[in-house]
Amino acid sequence: MKDILSLNHQQLQDEMVRCGEKSFRGKQIYDWLHVKLVADFSLMTNLPESLRGFLKSNYRIAKLKLVEQQESKSDGTIKYLFELGDGNLIESVLMPYRHGMSVCISSQVGCRMGCKFCASGIGGLERNLTTGEMLAQVYQMGRLTKERVSNVVVMGMGEPLDNYEHFLAFVKILTDEKGLNMSGRNITVSTCGLVPEILALAKEKLQITLALSLHGTTSKKREKLMPITKRYPLEEVLAACDAYTNTTGRRVTYEYSLIAGVNDTDEDAKELVALLKNRNCHLNLIPVNPVKESEFSSPKGKVTLNFKNKLEKNQINVTIRREMGADIEGACGQLRRKFTQK
């Protein structure tokens, strides 16, 4: 059955006309799905009973079954393990901040990028998520907490730009004024650096934030952590990010996972300054989350703070990401892996 949650406003009207209904029925259904966040056709009370029955027989609303929920005792972060309609598992995370509720969603079941410090890619890629399955994560966390989601980060399991068409449709529905009407500035997409997709996204001129997983200051260093660098050298990736800023007017966020003894030296700090000093960007330092299958660990003592200070002395706009969910297997893919290995 067709995933009706993946259809945008015009597509849903066209779909209803194709089925012999008036186009306004599509508008009504869209409002139920994307404003009222209803996930059951029988609750769409302004639709004729016959139409509700037809929808139930011919369409599905992407649904997520809650399998496990872990809440951090230290910061209130909630990690959800959801089961998709085909039995695959994905993770989503809700993070409470003073400015509102942020959620981090997955874009794929697994990942094929193979980054050495990430649990999501262990076992490779199962499949892409549909637009509806991505939206369902945002809507479901809103329903579970009875809170309006104010910020969305596509930084969970998977490489979003490796699922480009579904991701793009997801953003357009999420920011649609006829739906949740979320500001594009409240959406962040994280990528390991797929150059053609970054350039394509720039041409869309959306106001979303692009976050590049950098993690290494040269192609040689980055390649040891992120195999995708063999296909797209760091220089090409940075040029694509510059193009994104020039086209959209939006500064890029560079994410740098600090790994003890790997990329946290004085030399790394100097090279990072050289890379970023002339760029309109923000640097996010992330002490790496420990993953059981990886030998990597976060720097000890004041190494992270000292690293930050060296960058700031050279006028780099930098913050240390607040560590959240460390006591609930905060790294992407850990909870899913625990269940799939049972």
Does the annotation mark 91 as catalytic?
yes
Give SS3 for 109. strand
192 and 162 Cβ atoms separated by less than 8 Å: no
Q: Which of 15, 91, 159, 197 is catalytic?
A: 91
Kindly name the residue from 115, 241, 281, 332 that is annotated as catalytic: 332
Burial readout 120-159 (b: 16 or more C-beta within 10 A, e: otherwise): bbbeebbebbbbbbbbbbbbbbbeeeeeebebbbbbbbbb
DSSP structure class, residue 256:
E
What does DSSP say about strands 209-213 and 2-3: parallel, antiparallel, or unpaired? unpaired
C-alpha to C-alpha distance for 250 and 254, rounded to whole angstroms:
13
- Where do the DSSP E strands lie in the chain? 2-3, 59-60, 65-71, 78-83, 89-97, 100-105, 108-110, 125-128, 149-154, 187-191, 209-213, 252-258, 281-287, 318-320
111 is catalytic: no
**Residue located via tokens 């509700």:** 52
Positions annotated as catalytic residues are: 91, 332
